[in-house]
Chain A
Amino acid sequence: MSTACEQAGSAMLHPELRVESDPDAIIRDGHRLDHAEGTSKPLRPAFEPQPRGAKVRGNRPIDQQEAAARFIAATEHEKMHDERLWDLRQKRDREMHGIPEWEELRSLASAIKEHTLTHLDEYLDQFEANARSNGIHVHWARDAAEHNQIVHGILRDHGATTLIKSKSMLTEECGFRHYMASVGIEVIETDLGERIQQLDNEDPSHVVVPAVHKLRTDVAEVFSRTIGTDPGNSDVHYLAEAQRKATRPLILNADAGMTGGNFVVAETGTFVVCTNEGNADLSGNVPKLHIASIGIEKIIPRLEHLAVLVRLLSRSALGSPMTQYTSHFRGPRTGGEMHVVLVDNGRSERLGLEEFWTSLKCIRCGACMNTCPVYRRSGGLSYGATYSGPIGLIIDPTFNARKYSNLPFASSLNGSCTNVCPVKINIHEQIYAWRRVLVNQHEVPLVKKAAMKAAGALLSRPAAYRAAIATADAALAHLPRFVIYNGLNAWGKHREVPHPPEQTFHNWYHANRGAKQ
């Protein structure tokens, strides 16, 4: 276990939860504060630095637990993060209860997506033809590198050196900002949260609310460093206004704009972008050149299907009935140019995975993250991957099974993610299935395999098993060792071990019902 975990131990409790027996009880002026004083919040909490995400070392497996332990040790951050996202989950529930046909909608949405995915080639061809007749240039990118080169080519053709863009997980997948920096093109994110992350040189931690892991004091620190705000002022209105003033001129003078696309409609050859800040509209409408990068799984057959999906998207994501802006892009403006880059980047391959292809139904609402008790306590950056939370656990290994081999184990398999998913992806079952796949691909530590093999051998031989746990005390000594491969050390670090009973049930039964059988 790493040092971060050790450190997390004493600091894991938020001050409000600490009790008198805790060795870390608050002492002030030489005496121990009583309960009310000790647990009341100080007027200005001591500044807690933002915990950073997982350490990424090339292809080596990401240690999600190590990063999660550091996040939990930052109690102000963890508490805020958990409560903020749980609030979104509760708002989602309220919206759900306002729609009598909610479960029917989910089934419909799932069916629409499954149908489309099983006829993907036809609908993509249909979209391409209709989009071209709308005057849209359509490009196909096999992978991230091809995507970045295509976009770079378009920008080069127009002599563009500045690009404003709205939030897009696909461009994160493609490492787009890094690539653009390497070819000397300035990218300005227009989504507030994404802009904060860009200025902090950090990946988004959530697909919908990318800076949700940051306290306002963290944002004040980033802005003071990057756009010159007062480091002591963390008033949200002040910070938002300062950012607006700093970014607005960049937006108005940009050479080109980029958006993602939430939905692509085959029959109309159009695409739809949903935001709450109107920033996609700025990105798409201010410069004359608009490039939209869209994953091929975003396609739906007809506009009527959009009605089903749009009713679910924002309710699931933020618990609001509708995104503030649901913009249909139908073609270039007079004098302008519009390009759509349809990106595969592993999607076709994923479509061929029998147990995992339905993960392509995902509409990136983030509801699975908001409800996930592990995600809420770990922070999205602990996953060290583009996609975090439950959906990340089942998508990330398709990009790199070795690097993300630990992620499917970062789940209690509680199944809440599956129940909130608006397109009914069986997320927790896919997490379970990934564990088996990773074991079969030898991406799981040998020591774990050896322990599991020993456990299997013991548990399938009743006589040996009974001998091993002949007394209750021996049972306690042995049982966790084979039930949970790394034994009582991990169990007892932050919780007490079970109390040994006088005898096992097995022995009790023998003594009390021995005559039977």
Chain B
Amino acid sequence: MRIGLFIPCYIDAVFPKVGIATLELLERFGHDVQYPRDQTCCGQPMANSGFDAECADTEALFVRNFSGFDYIVSPSGSCVHHVRDNFAIEQTDEVKEVCSRTFELVEFLHDIQKVDAFPWAKFPHRVGLHNSCGTLRRLKHALPSELHEPFFSKPIDLLSKVDGIEFVRPARPDECCGFGGTFSVFEEVVSTKMGYDKVSDHAQAGAEYIVSADSSCLMHQRGCAERIGVSMKFIHIAEILNGANA
């Protein structure tokens, strides 16, 4: 299967290890993974602030870069949500095709690849799972606590196949951590307070690591934890599934 690897701008620049883990993981399953060199961003930062016109060219570039792949896979839920659900450019057949073939890594592994084992992965640590709001409530990685429906969690399904992993349950497992894209700077005081509370909640539950499918939340939470002196490690789900042993 021919997969286009979409590495969002902040992962490219700040978390290259997450991109590498995603690439290696997809290669382990025998896929032909290609990284289109001209990719930049999905346009979300502008659209998220209400600037549709300003992000149209960036969205069009995304479509040009990723046209023709069987699947486009990315280790970032909010970017995938933007591509799949919020592209504001004209919905040509090509745009619709690219958007509908774009998947977040957990979705891809769980729903398309239907992985039943990660024999190379071992992670003997206590982890608190952080579902970003984009993956939880838009991409529907798991059942949000507000709804009365049967429980499911794709990231827990996948992580449970990792040897030695132990989950802790924070008191408010799916409360937003306060990143929220441009919200993190537009409302930085509220944003960081939410981040302090989030990392403290996980620390109190006994987590050594916070694991998430979104590095943006982790970047924010790490910055918050370091500022208030909460001892916590952060890791992207791709790294654990690819066999990182921390």
Contacts and interface: CB of A to CB of B under 8 A. Distances in A.
Interface string B166-205: 0000001011101111111111111111111100100000
A508 B20 contact: yes
Nearest to B54: A456
Interface stretch (B98-106, B119-127, B223-231, B235-243): B223-231
A130 B61 CA distance: 61
Contacts of B185: 484-487, 490-491
Interface residues of A, number: 94
Nearest to B183: A412
B137 A419 contact: yes
A456 B58 contact: yes
A32 interface: no
A476 B13 contact: yes
A306 interface: no
A459 B40 contact: yes
Nearest to A454: B54
B37 interface: yes
Interface string B199-219: 010000000000000000001
Contacts of A475: 12-14
Interface string A5-21: 10010001100011111
B167 to A, nearest CB: 20
B51 A452 contact: yes
B148 A97 contact: yes
Contacts of B43: 456, 459
Nearest to B182: A484
Given A444-B50, A452-B45, A460-B57, 4 more contacts: A12-B196, A65-B187, A103-B148, A377-B194
Contact of A412 (B9, B133, B149): B133
Given A19-B229, A20-B229, A494-B192, A93 B14 contact: no
Interface of A: 5, 8, 12-13, 17-22, 64-65, 68-69, 72, 78, 82, 86, 93, 96-97, 99-100, 102-103, 371, 373-374, 377-378, 409-416, 418-420, 432, 434-440, 444, 448-449, 452-453, 455-460, 462, 465, 469, 472, 475-476, 479, 482-487, 490-498, 500-501, 503-506, 508-510, 513, 516-517
Contacts of B224: 494-495
A493 B190 CA distance: 12
B190 A377 contact: yes
A12 B51 contact: no
Contacts of A96: 148
Contacts of A378: 190
B1 interface: no
B180 A483 contact: no
Interface stretch (B108-116, B139-147, B157-165): B139-147
B16 A449 contact: no
B173 to A, nearest CB: 12
Contact of A373 (B15, B178, B200, B227): B178
Nearest to A68: B190
B137 A483 contact: no
A19 B174 CA distance: 25
A495 B226 contact: yes
B67 interface: no
B172 A12 contact: no
A462 B38 contact: yes
B35 A498 contact: no
A497 B223 contact: yes
Contact of A12 (B14, B189, B230): B189
A484 B14 contact: no
A496 B226 contact: yes
Given A22-B229, A479-B9, A496-B222, A13 B40 contact: no
A496 B61 contact: no
Interface string B17-58: 101100100000000001101111101011011111011111
